Chain A
């Protein structure tokens, strides 16, 4: 008997029980998702902008349009693939999901390798279309691995580990924000990753060797109570309900607010030169460590507290961050003094919501519904919001909107979401008596 109350992770219990296949499942999931997310926040978000504007000489408005195409296609493909997987019952087939993930990794590796050689606008558009198809398949395929590899109780911690690794790498070793640099860095990770995943899928598909036994063992996990139904599945079938759409709207708001502000901030040298793009290592390390600490904190909070409180924190932090940036731009428009307080606030907010995003959708799902639910959650809230706001940010910039006005809009949006949440909370007046 372990005891009536234990704050311990299931991972530690697997280690104590010497169940190494289950422990390796955690490693596979964290590795796959962390590299995938690192790719997303560096190569896709910053690299494509550089490729379009600097390397190809396209106008910011043209790049904004291409980004909107990427958003729309990714969202549509994710929904089609997600619900297709759900209909065919692939959500409960670990091998099939790994095969799909491998296909995505191979396509993305190829796209990453050819990206610096893109020389024209049609090639760029073709690249974007193929990238959207791959990302659209990748979202439901990889997120639905959760029900096989991560027990419900550990989803917050695992999401924290993914977030911490991805953001630490992105903040501590940013290199130059140029497509060539991103491409080289990513290939160092993706080629060995593709070979490793390819080996696992090949051996598991052949049905021989210890790898096949390992995958077969993991593929039975979703039948256990510990893995199967997420913590927010109350009706037993895990279908999308009103509450789910409430969270989609909130996550859409978060992604939208984050991306809308960040793309303008990264284009403002006085705001990034002393932080994300600092010449010295120490400011970048401080931001990277903030990401790690905030991710771990978010992992614990997600596990122990009512998820609404994380949303309160996130919107409050975003509002504060942009308020802080607005004051800085307003009061000290020409100062070169680098202050790390606001970037640290920003890093904290970003880590908090990323953890929620990695854990939330699977916790609303059963093994059968996870691919569809994840597609709706990640595609509608994450991809669509990020790239629509990116397009809007670039359009505002081209229309000549001043920096402080842009940041005030973002700050107002964050406050609006926070206020809306508080109003809804007061109207519904829930007293779940759970946590804070």
Chain B
């Protein structure tokens, strides 16, 4: 039943990818003319053939030219990125974003307007990296994020404490007791995941799935951090608070405190980044190993052994 609900959720998320959340137009061959009344809702990808955007037409997203010929005389709300092929910007062409070229031929009428920048050598935008806020604003955002994550984790831990299943405990146990298979699985995931995401984004057709996968990865990361935070909080409470106050701290509070502390450790310069990297590998693997905390991982009998060192000595 649980699987059916998960499939339903995935299907629901994918339904949201239709026009409105993300749309795109792919042109692989042939001749296509978009008249003055045409409005294309998302990005456009040209692989080959000839595409003409008449004066008065509008593309709501960016255009990526990988090959073929584009004759643009309308309005482009996003960027125009030219990796290969031929682009002719007509007299009525207006680009609200940047014109980025790293290959092919681009010709431009004198009256064509480019509201953004004209960049040569970098066809794909890296604005997201540059647009990160700094200073107090960044710290404030980070703090809000940490408190939100810790609060949600605390609520979950409190709710979970009254139930038999212990997802957070399962994940934390997998990460700490069975760290080797967790790290191996996490490493494999991290080796494959970035390549997979880039590849999917590159195909354009699969961009909606990139968002779904990104969401899942974020959830996995959040679950892992909260699990480890819960364990850290529990350990701190047992070591320092219980001897002083003689009253057990609630699971919700220990999880909240541990998660905040863990995120604080990640924010430390140098050490924090290394810790973050190692923990990310370990937690990704632990979440997968415990199947999102739904089961307690148990190694096969060949790994679990209780033997005397003398049996390894020479006869």
Contact = CB atoms under 8 A, between A and B. Distances in A.
Interface string A330-343: 11111100000110
Contacts of B311: 226
Given A1-B306, A304-B180, A345-B196, 13 more contacts: A4-B304, A5-B305, A7-B303, A17-B312, A19-B312, A217-B314, A231-B302, A293-B191, A301-B188, A305-B185, A335-B83, A348-B192, A435-B181
Interface in B283-306: 288-289, 291, 295, 297-300, 302-306
Interface in B259-315: 288-289, 291, 295, 297-300, 302-315
Given A152-B302, A436-B291, A342 B315 contact: no
Contacts of A290: 191
Closest 5 CB pairs of A and B: A300-B184, A304-B181, A17-B312, A341-B195, A17-B313
B312 A297 contact: no
Contact of B305 (A6, A305, A342): A6
A280 to B, nearest CB: 20
Contacts of A323: 199
Contacts of A409: none
Contacts of A16: 309, 312
Interface of A: 1-7, 10, 13-14, 16-19, 21-22, 152-153, 217, 220, 226, 231, 290, 293-294, 296-297, 300-301, 303-306, 313, 317, 320, 323-324, 327, 330-335, 341-342, 344-345, 348, 433-436
B203 interface: yes
A341 to B, nearest CB: 4
11 contacts: A5-B299, A5-B304, A5-B305, A7-B180, A22-B312, A301-B188, A303-B181, A304-B180, A320-B199, A334-B67, A435-B289
B288 A436 contact: yes
The size bracket of the interface on B is: 35 or more
B198 interface: yes
Contact of A21 (B191, B304, B314): B314
Contact of A436 (B289, B310, B314): B289
A335 B84 contact: yes
A2 B305 contact: yes
A4 B298 CA distance: 13
Interface string B193-227: 01110110011000000000000000000000000
A434 B300 contact: yes
Contact of B300 (A10, A17, A335, A435): A435
A2 B203 contact: no
Contact of B192 (A4, A21, A317): A317
A46 to B, nearest CB: 25
Contacts of A332: 66-67, 83-84
B297 A3 contact: no
Nearest to A348: B191
B312 A14 contact: yes
Contacts of A7: 178, 180, 299, 303
A313 B188 contact: yes
A331 B188 contact: no
B47 interface: yes
B187 interface: yes
B312 A344 contact: no
B93 to A, nearest CB: 25
A53 B306 CA distance: 57
Given A231-B300, A327-B199, A344-B195, A301 B184 contact: yes
A2 B191 contact: no
